């Protein structure tokens, strides 16, 4: 599977002819108005989650297939809940026992799923650009949602983080946001920086040891800080990232305890941020490695709100993308 050039095509393939969402592959190239529409739509779905019957009929009769080529618990579960709350039928493909594990090609698997009349594929893959490759291969009436691809992007995670920030802080324009930790391997960090800049955050900072900082980080439209104390000064939002140990090829850190000593988010280090700063983490949390339990469970943490908002954001993206495919088919008529 050749995916090396796929991410460059994201802005060209994600929208329908009338500018609506067709696929959701990456934040890059999407306009502020569309990101705001996703947030507004997700906000409207928050009410569904509080209702006695947590369902709306927007995707009744549609089928959403979850194609997780990489392990996940939180992302897969929230996508499944989101599709079911939209009244869609959900097909969870177990890749470990699927035909692809028995030698069938990815394209053959996709064609078989298309023959089952699936309307959307939610794709998580360890290869960067995999979702873009799949979007280039499927028939035009199937929406592709990127649930995380390699080190490249995790757009729905970024948008649920944006919804959490907006619900906590209101407008983005005056906010200073700091992202701490394994920036090098994090698809989340890349998507967060893009979303924050598009939505108009005043300042985006990344904080990490140099061994965990991408070589092209200077092109990210963010300020780079190698020291935690300087990077956290007066920020309004603090996002701690998980150490992506499964993606580390060499000894990029002396030890986890050494990382925690210099970059762990503790009550002491949080004091450098604004007194009303909120604390976020995309999960799963490694307590005592990236974040102190007293901070993760403290009054300034909105980590569980992120999980709740994840269902609403994924409902919004699924409803908009599948709806965009419907409108595009009607226009081609």
- Residue 284: is the preceding peptide bond cis (ω within 30°)? yes
Q: Does residue 74 have a known ligand-binding role?
A: yes
Q: Does residue 124 have a known ligand-binding role?
A: yes
- The single residue listed with the structure tokens 């291969």 is 137
Determine the Cα–Cα distance for residues 207 and 7; give it in Å rounded to an integer.
25
Q: Does residue 283 have a known ligand-binding role?
A: yes
DSSP, collapsed to helix, strand or coil, labels residue 252 as coil
Q: Does residue 324 have a known ligand-binding role?
A: no
Q: Does residue 105 have a known ligand-binding role?
A: no
Burial of 204 (0-12, 13-18, 19+ CB in 10 A): buried
Q: Does residue 154 have a known ligand-binding role?
A: yes
Burial of 219 (0-12, 13-18, 19+ CB in 10 A): exposed
Distant-in-sequence contacts of 5-9, Cβ < 8 A, 24+ apart: 5/129, 6/129, 6/130, 6/132, 6/133, 6/136, 7/128, 7/129, 7/132, 7/152, 7/153, 9/132, 9/136
Q: List Cα–Cα distances, 258 to 253, 288, 296, in angstroms.
A: 8, 11, 19
Q: Does residue 14 have a known ligand-binding role?
A: no
Q: Does residue 329 have a known ligand-binding role?
A: no
Q: Which positions make up the binding site? A: 74-75, 102, 124, 154, 157, 187, 242, 283-284
Q: Which positions make up the binding site for carbamoyl phosphate? A: 74-75, 124, 154, 157, 283-284
Q: Which positions make up the binding site for L-aspartate? A: 102, 187, 242
């Amino acid at each position: 599977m050749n995916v090396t050039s796929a991410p460059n095509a994201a802005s060209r393939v994600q929208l329908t002819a009338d500018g609506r969402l067709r696929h959701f592959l990456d934040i890059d190239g999407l306009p502020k108005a569309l990101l705001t529409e996703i947030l507004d739509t997700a906000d409207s779905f928050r009410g569904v989650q509080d209702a006695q019957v947590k369902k709306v009929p927007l995707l009744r009769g549609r089928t959403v297939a979850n194609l997780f080529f990489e392990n996940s618990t939180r992302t897969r579960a929230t996508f499944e809940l989101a599709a079911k709350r939209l009244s869609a039928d959900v097909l969870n493909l177990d890749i470990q026992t699927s035909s692809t594990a028995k030698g069938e090609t990815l394209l053959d698997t996709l064609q078989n799923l298309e023959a089952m009349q699936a309307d959307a594929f939610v794709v998580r893959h360890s290869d960067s650009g995999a979702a873009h490759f799949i979007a280039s291969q499927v028939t035009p009436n199937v929406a592709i949602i990127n649930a995380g691809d390699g080190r490249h992007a995790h757009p729905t995670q970024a948008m649920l983080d944006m919804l959490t920030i907006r619900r906590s802080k209101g407008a983005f324009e005056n906010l200073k946001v700091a992202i701490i930790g394994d920036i090098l391997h994090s698809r989340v960090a890349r998507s967060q920086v893009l979303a924050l800049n598009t939505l108009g955050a005043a300042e985006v900072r990344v904080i990490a040891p140099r061994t965990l900082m991408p070589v092209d980080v200077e092109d990210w439209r963010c300020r780079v800080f190698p020291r935690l104390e300087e990077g956290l000064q007066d920020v309004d939002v603090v996002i701690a990232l998980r150490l992506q140990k499964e993606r580390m090829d060499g000894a990029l850190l002396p030890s986890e305890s050494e990382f925690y000593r210099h970059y762990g988010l503790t009550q002491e280090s949080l004091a450098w941020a604004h007194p009303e700063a909120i604390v976020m983490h995309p999960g799963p949390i490694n307590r005592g490695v990236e974040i102190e339990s007293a901070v993760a469970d403290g009054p300034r943490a909105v980590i569980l709100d992120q999980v709740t908002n994840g269902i609403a954001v994924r409902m919004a993206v699924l409803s908009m993308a599948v709806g965009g495919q419907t409108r595009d088919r009607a226009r081609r008529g």
